[in-house]
Amino acid sequence: MSEPLVLTSDQPPIRRPGVWLAGVALYILLISIGAGVGGELGIFTTASFNALPFVGLAILAYFAGSQFNWAWIATGLWLALVLGLAALYTFGLGVIPLLDMPPGGISPEQAPTLSPADVLSIVLLILGIFVALGIGLLTLLPPVRRGLAQVLPIDPDSFVHAVAVMAIVSITLMMFVPLLVAGEPPLLALINTVGGEEFSDLSADEQLRSQIYGLVWTIPAAFLAVGFGIRRNLAATLERLGLARPTLRHLAIGIGIGLGLAGLMSLALPLMDTLWQALGWPTTDEEAFGELMAFAISPIGALVIGVTAGLGEELGVRGVLQPRLGIWLSNLFFTSLHAFQYNWDALLVVFVIGMVCGLVRKHTNTTTAAIVHGVYNFVMVMLTVVFGM
């Protein structure tokens, strides 16, 4: 018989759940208005999709008591919705490299053709998504949670931790499935099919603003995801996230490591690409990736990507996840989020960069890790601007 999930002793009882549920309802209303109005409001609300659904999941999980209550049902329904949407998105993008679509995309005159090999690949894609979800569900079993607690800093009896592990394991595995099946990142396949100009309805400036809006949503989302206003006050939340005012030492460490990583990767990437090709392994399509990131290839774009990806991704991965899921699992999740746009060669680089940021977070704080990440991104984009690297 399954053991009940209980709250840990250092977690005070939750009050005013109606206020938080009203906030979730207000967010749903806001994105509905944004979708209807479109324009700048639509861009702003759409930028929340990477963070806010997970915050709603965390808030509902915080309401769960030691015994079965309404929050268990609400959390389960919300979790099913989040994972269902992630699965549909993964399938929708993952099927693109498997179809023999004409240039410019699908048209009534030229429908995509399906060979037996294509059908098999689509079946494998669907099967892979279900396997990812199934492995995630296994983590809800008490013996599995206790085993994971031996290698992850989780409380096996915490409802919040159980939901977090299940969601992260499922999504991490799911994101790798299209690349495993098709051998090609789906976003780059889409670029090659429809063309870079048709890939996004947004202009370069709008895409940059969308990146900024994403950070605007991510910062409060990270605070809420660790229980700010529910189980932690501001000081405890900042400590939990690893956010601190950077000292001169931390600035020097962050800038130094960021510059060092950029220099090292600039030298290593050409050698790695040569080795990869010599072994006959597929590499990331640089031309398609250049079209995907064309909106950011400018000094302003380098600054925006440096700040938004550096702070936003580090706050979410190294701030929210790493203290509970450890360096390895949180970094695998971080790497999986790039599997739609990179092949295995570039994903290895992402994993290495993430491990460095994870170690920096462990030995200093998230602020320093964000500086490392931001400086690295800024320098790499600027090298592309100046030298076309």
CA 228 from centroid of its chain's CA atoms = 21
What's residue 280's pLDDT? 87
Confidence of residue 111 (pLDDT cuts 50, 70, 90): low
For residue 31, what pLDDT band results from cuts at 50, 70 and 90? confident
Write out the two tokens for 369: 């890790």
DSSP string, 319-348: IIIHHHHHHHHHHHHHHHTTTTT--HHHHH
- Mean local confidence (pLDDT), 118-143: 94
Does residue 113 sit in helix, strand or coil? strand
Average pLDDT over the chain, rounded to whole?
86
For position 232, what pLDDT does the model report? 87
pLDDT of residue 6: 37
Q: Which residues pair with 113 in a beta bridge?
A: 100
User: Is residue 5 included in any domain, yes or no?
Assistant: no
State how far the Cα of 164 lies from the Cα of 230, in Å rounded to an integer: 17
Residue 12 forms part of a structural domain: no
Domain extent at residue 228: 17-387
**Is residue 1, in this structure, part of any structural domain at all?**
no
Q: How far is CA 175 from the centre of its chain?
A: 9
Instruction: Measure the CA–CA gap between 227 and 295, rounded to whole angstroms.
Output: 35
d(CA 357, CA 371): 9
Establish if 30 belongs to a structural domain: yes
Query: What stretch of H or E contains 34?
Result: helix 17-37
Residue 326 has pLDDT above 70, yes or no: yes
Q: Is 121 exposed, middle or buried (0-12, 13-18, 19+ CB in 10 A)?
A: buried
Collapsing DSSP to helix, strand or coil, 100 comes out as strand
Domain-located, residue 9: no
Q: Could you tell me if residue 352 is inside a domain?
A: yes
Taking residues 239-268, report their average pLDDT: 95
Answer whether residue 295 shows pLDDT above 80.
yes
Helix (H, G, I), strand (E, B) or coil at 232: strand
Q: Averaged over 71-84, what is the pLDDT?
A: 90
Domain total for the chain? 1
Q: Which amino acid is at 101?
A: M
- With a cut of 70, say whether residue 135 has pLDDT above it: yes
Residue 208 lies in a domain: yes
Q: Are the CB atoms for 160 and 61 separated by under 8 Å?
A: yes
- Give the E-state strand segments of the chain in sequence order: none
Task: Return d(Cα 324, Cα 156) in angstroms, integer.
Answer: 11
Alpha-carbon gap, residue 34 to 41, rounded angstroms: 5
Average pLDDT, integer, range 23-46: 77
Name the residue among 3, 254, 37, 265 with its Cα closest to residue 142: 3
Query: CA-to-CA distance for 322 and 316, rounded, in angstroms?
Result: 9
Summarised one tens digit per residue, pLDDT across range 154-180 is 999 888 899 999 999 999 999 999 999
In this predicted structure, the answer to whether residue 1 has a pLDDT above a threshold of 50 is: no
Model confidence band, residue 105 (pLDDT cutoffs 50, 70, 90): low
Q: Which two tokens stand for residue 287?
A: 């031309």
Q: What is the DSSP string of 298-318?
A: SHHHHHHHHHHHHHHHIIIII
Q: What secondary structure letter does DSSP report for 293?
A: T
Instruction: Provide the pLDDT for residue 14.
Output: 53
CB 385 within 8 A of CB 297: yes
Token pair recorded at residue 91: 């399938």
Q: Is 103's pLDDT higher than 60?
A: no
Report the interhelical angle of 70-94 vs 52-62 (nearest 10°). 160
Q: Please state the rounded mean pLDDT for residues 21-40.
A: 74
Q: Indicate if the pLDDT at residue 316 is higher than 70.
A: yes
In a 10 Å sphere around its CB, with 0-12 CB exposed, 13-18 middle and 19+ buried, how is residue 363 labelled? exposed
Within a domain: 165: yes
Asked if the model's pLDDT at residue 319 lies above 90, the reply is yes
- Does the pLDDT of residue 123 top 60, yes or no? yes
